[in-house]
Amino acid sequence: MKRYWPALLAILIVTGLSMVACSQPAAPTTPATPEVTPVAPTETATEPAPSAPSIAGYWEGSMTVLGADLTIIVKLSDDGGAITGTMDIPQQGATDIPLHDISYADSKVHFELLEGARLATYDGQVNPDGTISGEFSQSGVTGTFTLHQAEEPTPTVEVAEVLSYRAEDVTFNNGDITLAGTLTMPEGDGPFPALILISGSGQQNRDEELSIVPGYKPFREIADTLTRQGIAVLRYDDRGIGGSGGDPITSTSVDFADDAEAAFTYLQGRSEIDGKQIGMMGHSEGGIIEAIIGARNPDVAFLISMAGTAVSGYDTVIKQVERLTLASGLSAEAAAAAADQQRAVLDMVVAQDWTGLESMMNELISAQLNALSDDQKAAIGDIDTYAKQQVAVQLSQLQSPWYQFFLAHDPGEDWAKVTVPVLGLFGGNDAQVDADTNAAALRAALDKAGNQDVTITVIPTANHLFQDATTGSVEEYAQLEPHLMPEFLTAVSDWLAAHVQLPQ
């Protein structure tokens, strides 16, 4: 999965900043105008007071929280008095986090990012030397920040590549929801076999970009590789992002399956596509989604699961917590303890004992906070307030329709109804979807279906994003090459070459 569900005790004060790729910025506010006391005119003309310097520009600096320093980049623009801006946090792979409620008056600067329990506010002063320094607070934690103006790096200009195939922007509908994507097709009249790409959890664009891994565009890589080999590929923006409409907040995997099946119906109506050779590839949650479709739609020609699960969400989360704890360098005992804590939490979620769960989470988080150093406690401020804010955020996530469905759903039951050819790909270093557990479960489910064409491949060093990894931890993602391993692309290409018929 690409939603990261670490043990509930983890304090993600700053990490939470990198989880806003899908947040919508609030409308910018007009900066306050300083009060000016009228002065009676005199016969002697005076020079007008100099206007305050603009804070528009490119600012670099750092913020310090709980004894740790993070580099930040703030980009501000002034459009007729309305200041807008974004923040980058390079160490977290977070870029263009929208700022809101920006104001500048009397040398004082204020801006905010995120909303609700994650709201972070920044209050600074423009110093005589032109720098900005001040304090920020988020979820009861306070810290300091400094900024200085710098020359903005010259953006890298992407040279348009001359493609050996056609790329067409397309739209298709799922009821009253319009979804937008890119269809790449080989040269020629076809009809071509086709592949639909389905992203993992969280809202991604058609390239399946992730804010925590700058430059990572796996769906673009897959489409480019396969289209050059004679296969048409459709990739699309998830509902609520890019060019696609719809509201993802109340949606579940079933709704996303309807979106992907609408893509299938759209391709069946294209004369350049061979309607009998349309398959799907789902990454992470996308594997759950394609299994839902494969179990109910016999016209889907083949399925490729890319680190997809074949066990329930409940079991996935428990194993994920254990694997992520080990990947972070902690002991097997610590991993087992974290898994036990998560299990206790999930049991209450399943029972929907929200009162009991809130009490348990308050105790767990308070115990962790009380174990912090005096300096860290001082930075947090009001421990009780901070704990309540963290509990509120996590309860909201656990109660969401998406999570409720994910936790209870067992994709193995869908895979047990799939009889078309299946390729299952897993990473040996995947800390989010355990390869051993899910490869075995996928094989067992397809055996139950009587499926005679199953290939399951585990790439030993691949992580959840199919990068060549060492630990498989989420923190390692941004440190690796932002590309799919050649072994992954070769495995997909070779399997498809043996399972589809190209036009003569």
Query: 489-502 burial by CB neighbour count: b if 16+ within 10 A, else e?
Result: bebbbebbeebbeb
The confidence band for 160, taking pLDDT boundaries of 50, 70 and 90, is low
Q: Three-state secondary structure along 436-454?
A: HHHHHHHHHHHHHCCCCCE
pTM of the model: 0.77
Supply the pLDDT for residue 67: 65
Nearest to 173 by CA among 275, 243, 232, 222: 243
**Which of 13-22, 88-97, 208-217, 490-499 bottoms out in mean pLDDT, i.e. has the lowest?**
13-22
- Cβ contacts of residue 230 below 8 Å, gap of 6+? 186, 192, 193, 502, 503
Share of the chain above pLDDT 70, in %: 86
For 62, 245, 260, 291, 451, the CA distances from 266, given in Å and listed in that order, are: 48, 17, 10, 19, 27
Q: Is the pLDDT of residue 40 over 70?
A: no
Supply the pLDDT for residue 159: 61
For 310, 311, 455, the CA distances from 435, given in Å and listed in that order, are: 10, 11, 14
Distance CA 199, CA 210 (A): 11
Domain boundaries, the chain: 15-30+55-149, 165-312+409-497
In this structure, are residues 416 and 446 in contact, taking their beta carbons and an 8 Å threshold?
Answer: yes
- Cβ contacts of residue 454 below 8 Å, gap of 6+? 421, 422, 424, 443, 446, 447
Bridging pattern class, strands 177-186 and 165-174: antiparallel
In this structure, are residues 182 and 170 in contact, taking their beta carbons and an 8 Å threshold?
Answer: yes
Tens digit of pLDDT for each residue in 287-345?
Answer: 999 999 999 999 999 999 999 999 999 999 999 999 999 998 999 999 999 999 999 99
Tens digit of pLDDT for each residue in 477-494?
Answer: 988 999 999 999 999 999
Tokens coding 146: 């400094």
The one-letter amino acid code at 192 reads F
Q: Any idea which fold 165-312+409-497 has?
A: Rossmann fold (3.40.50)
The confidence band for 376, taking pLDDT boundaries of 50, 70 and 90, is confident
Residue 407 Ramachandran class (φ > 0 left, ψ -120 to 50 alpha, else beta): alpha
For 32, 111, 138, the CA distances from 84, given in Å and listed in that order, are: 14, 10, 21
Q: Is the pLDDT of residue 15 over 60?
A: no
In this structure, are residues 89 and 15 in contact, taking their beta carbons and an 8 Å threshold?
Answer: no
Distance CA 208, CA 21 (A): 12
Residues facing 498 on adjacent strands: none
Which CATH architecture does the domain made up of 15-30+55-149 adopt? Beta Barrel (2.40)
Tokens coding 278: 């349309």
Nearest to 220 by CA among 182, 194, 248: 182
**Which of 35-44, 162-171, 385-394 bottoms out in mean pLDDT, i.e. has the lowest?**
35-44
Supply the pLDDT for residue 117: 61
Query: 8-27 burial by CB neighbour count: b if 16+ within 10 A, else e?
Result: bbbbbbbbbbbbbbeeebee
CA angle 254, 177, 214 (to 5 degrees): 75
Query: Span 36-64, mean pLDDT?
Result: 59
- The residue with greater pLDDT, 153 or 350, is 350
Q: Is the pLDDT of residue 7 over 70?
A: no
Q: How far is CA 476 from the centre of its chain?
A: 15
Give, as one character, the DSSP assignment of residue 420: S
For 51, 102, 105, 126, 194, the CA distances from 35, given in Å and listed in that order, are: 13, 18, 10, 18, 65
Distance CA 341, CA 317 (A): 12
Q: Residue 443: phi, psi to the nearest 5?
A: -60, -45
DSSP output for 359-406: HHHHHHHHHHHHTS-HHHHHHH--HHHHHHHHHHHHHHHHHSHHHHHH
Tokens coding 4: 């990261």
